[in-house]
Amino acid sequence: MNTIQVTLKDGSVREYPYASSYQDIAASISRGLAKSALAAKVDGKVVDLHAKLTNDAKVEFLTFEDEGGRDALRHSASHIMAQAVKRLFGDVKVGIGPSIANGFYYDFDTAHTFTPDDLTKIQAEMEKIIKEDLPIERREVTREEAVKLFADQDEIYKVELISGLPDDVVISLYQQGEFVDLCAGPHVPSTGRVKVVKLQNLAGAYWRGDEKRKMLQRIYGTSFEKKADLDAYLTMLEEAAKRDHRKLGRELDLFSMQEEGPGFPFFHPKGMIIRNELEAFWRKLHIKYGYQEIKTPIILHQKLWHQSGHWDHYRENMYFTNIDGEGYAVKPMNCPGGILVYRNNHHSYRDLPLRTAELGLVHRHELHGALHGLMRVRSFTQDDAHIFMLPSQIKQEIMKVIELFDTVYSVFGLTYHAELSTKPEKAMGSDEMWELATNALQDALESKNMPYKINEGDGAFYGPKIDFHLKDSIGRTWQCGTIQLDMQMPERFELNYIGEDGQKHRPVMIHRVAYGSMERFIGILIEHFAGAFPVWLAPVQVKLLPITDRQAAYANELAAMMRDADIRVEVDERNEKIGYKIREGQMEKVPYMLIIGDKEMESKTVAVRKRGQGDIGTQPVEQFLAGISEEISNKTI
């Protein structure tokens, strides 16, 4: 074969000599593409630009604007970091070093304890390696060659990784200068393509995530093509640190985590106000969309979890107990309980779709090191819903769920994008059922004209799913809402309905959450709003600040009037200067502070200070009440 046909992203077809590199192909298209391309996607698989063209293929070139391009660059940066550490510290053994969202890390085993000063030295050495512009070259070796190479270097972790690889896996190494690493790739062509790096922090990490294995030292970093982009990212991180929900949760007295219950959050009175408002909004919206609320037990017999498949697919994340000599499990998910509610009654096709919703408390075992405030906990409330329907209703119901999600997220000013996840390696059911379910989700997304990306193999064990990734006020994304289409559970639980023909038929099931986890969603909102909640969510909506004791009685009269109007109000009667009281209210991020002096008391007015705007003037009490009541009713952001 002398020439090979390449179909490019724009649909055009070009011919190239056999064994042309993708770097050569990029250069033939344009000098700019050759300079910006970091990797190539060939028939859906991301490969090095040094790789050779051996078959007709669809080829797309990936730059830093593409996820695959960013991953290749940051993965290469992790290798540069490992090379720098090996140069600086002689006794180092290396673990693994992948790219991750927004950066990379590498794990090291060394007697030396890394310090922040070491990060400065390592980064300087990385910058030298980048300037050396070392080619990053891939070679494939036999298992025996790989084991000997790393055993000779006393790289015990690499030898262990090789021993765990399946027999049919191609073992590849990447080399840059004196540094060789076991790696599947892909990588950028040379160290000089990495451009800008920043090492960020240190952490401990058990080898392979196993608490029984050795604790290694993990160094996190990030990499960009342009310094301006790195600076913008670091500025965002500084803003994120100010918004950290754990810090604001303490300062605003919303919640706490106690050593007596690691991973089990304690909500304080002000945090409960936010939670209750979110639940009230959720209930009202679900009534509007035709859902019926249910409640199912937290502990259920282990035979249920065998039947649902959780015992085989999710047992390591579950908690167990023994009652009357029999095994029970604390529920990690609400769906089996919801299925039992459906199965409790006979159903006709006329009853479907049947939409049930539950604010269900679930428990999942998370490793202690993975716990993170409200974002990663061991007990949380899922705003679950389960829709049982006819196969003909699938598309319509999915579209209605998307409409509900859109309503929820728009209330908080959150935009989102969708991702479709397909059949994982460990899954229940036939390929045919999975294809039918996946096509149904895809069809609904396309009918809504929603752009989406596909995550191959990332679905739940019982069905494909659509995940909704929310974008907050400083540009970070959070995965919250999920729609999972399930044809497996109705089969396992032998669910049925009586069809028009008088015969039994199997319903199709949707699992879906809008908030996802109530706890995590509250954490996201704390950071999204930086603790300055919109009026309808704010734990204290109004603070009345009498200037002296003379106005205290009038302030309490106003407070009673506001409570009658369902406005959350506090009176600051402390014998403090008004400036001090105002500063305190600002620290507490109260939306409105009303200053009351003799003049306001006599004229039945209030001097209004609005959060973020300061003094906005004096208003009659009735005017202020009407305005804030409208803000609350409209859920104004």
CA dihedral 443, 448, 451, 457 (to 10 degrees): -30
The arithmetic mean of pLDDT across residues 578-592, rounded, is 96
177: left (phi over 0), alpha (psi -120 to 50) or beta: left
439 pLDDT band, cuts 50/70/90, is confident
Active-site positions read 335, 364, 382, 384, 386, 465, 511
Mean pLDDT taken over the chain: 93
Whether residue 53 is predicted with pLDDT greater than 60 in this model: the reply is yes
State pLDDT tens for residues 464-508.
889 999 988 888 888 899 998 888 889 889 999 999 999 999 999
Q: Under the phi-then-psi rule, with left for phi > 0, alpha for psi from -120 to 50, and beta for the rest, what region is 365? A: beta
Per-residue pLDDT at 300 exceeds 90: yes
Residue with tokens 């009490």: 621
Give the residue from 357, 476, 470, 475 showing the smallest Cα distance to 419.
Answer: 470
Tally of CB atoms within 10 A around 380: 21
For 180-234, the pLDDT digits (tens) are: 999 998 999 999 999 999 999 999 989 988 888 999 999 999 999 999 999 999 9
Residue 1, pLDDT > 70, answer no
Q: What confidence category does residue 274 fall into, taking pLDDT thresholds of 50, 70 and 90? A: very high
- Burial of 564-580, coded b for 16+ CB within 10 Å and e otherwise, reads eeebbbbbbbeeeebee
Distance CA 591, CA 632 (A): 11
Matching residue, tokens 């009351």: 596
212 Cβ contact list (under 8 Å, min separation 6): 206
Average pLDDT over residues 626-635: 96
Contact 349, 500 (CB under 8 A): yes
Q: What is the identity of the amino acid at 566?
A: D
* Direct distance between the N- and C-terminal alpha carbons of the chain, in angstroms, rounded to an integer: 64
For the beta carbon of residue 513, count every other beta carbon within 10 angstroms: 22
What's the pTM? 0.82
- pLDDT 10s digits, 107-128: 999 999 999 999 999 999 999 9
- Percentage of residues of the chain with pLDDT beyond 70: 100
Task: Give pairs for 320-328: CB < 8 Å, separation 24+.
Answer: 323/299, 326/301, 326/302, 327/301, 327/302, 328/299, 328/300, 328/301, 328/302
Alpha-helical runs (H) found in 412-534: 431-447, 489-492, 518-528
Tell me how far CA of residue 350 lies from CA of 388, 389, 497, 498, 502, in angstroms: 12, 10, 9, 9, 12
| pLDDT on residue 229 | 94
pLDDT (mean) for 323-339: 94
Q: What is the pLDDT of residues 342-383, one digit of tens each?
A: 999 999 999 999 999 999 999 999 888 788 999 999 999 999
- Dump pLDDT digits (tens) for 136-178: 999 999 999 999 999 999 999 999 999 888 888 889 999 999 9
Confidence of residue 4 (pLDDT cuts 50, 70, 90): confident
Q: Is the pLDDT of residue 80 over 80?
A: yes
**Backbone phi, then psi, for 386, in 5-degree steps?**
-130, 125
